[in-house]
Structure 1
Amino acid sequence: MNISRGKLINEDDLYDALASGKLAGAALDVFEVEAPPGQRSAPSRRPLQEFNVILTPHYSGATAESRKRAIRTVGDNIRRLRSGEPLRNLAEFDRGF
C-alpha cells in the first residue's frame, strides 16, 4: 500500500512481483508518474489493473473527518495570521510538498 509519495514505489518492480505471483496485490493512491489532469486511464506505465490492484488516485484522504480537520486547520490559520502567530502546515516546495 502506498498513500504517501509515488516515487517510493518502483512500478516496474511492482508489476514484475505481481506478474510472477510473488506479490498477491497492491493498493496505490499515488503513482510513480502522476496522470495529467482529466486523464481517465490508470496513470502507471504498466497495466497494473490486470492484477489484484486497487487504484485510488489521491482519494485515500478524502474522508468526512479529513474535510473537518482541513476546515479546522484553515480556521486556526486565519486566527493565527490575525494574531501574528506562526501558521501551521505550510507547504515546503523545496521538499516537494
Structure 2
Amino acid sequence: MAAHDQDKELVERLIAETNLSARMDALIGEICDKLREYGVSSPHKAFNDLVDPFREYFMLEYEEERGLEESEEEEEDEEEDEERNY
C-alpha cells in the first residue's frame, strides 16, 4: 500500500471515529447562521470565499511535503538499483 493511501485511510478512520465531519458541518452551519444574522446574502459563498485561500495553502503545503518524501524514496530506490547492478 502506498504512503498516500495509508495517509488517506488514517484520515478517513479518524474522521469516522471522531465524528469530525458532522462536527465540522455543524460549525459551518453556525458560522453561516451568524453571517446571515449580520445580513450576508449568501453566507455559504462568503464562508467558502473566506476559507478557499487556506485550503489552497494547506493543499500546496501537503503536496510539497508528499513530493519531497516521494522524491527521497525515488532516490533511495535508484541508489539500491545502482548497487544491485554492480
| Class of the TM-score when normalised by the shorter of the 2 chains | 0.3 to 0.5
**Normalised TM-score (structure 1):** 0.31
Larger radius of gyration: 2
User: Relative to total residues, which structure has the larger helix share, 1 or 2?
Assistant: 2
Greater relative contact order, per chain length (Cα 8 Å cut-off, separation 6+)? 1
**Normalised TM-score (structure 2):** 0.33
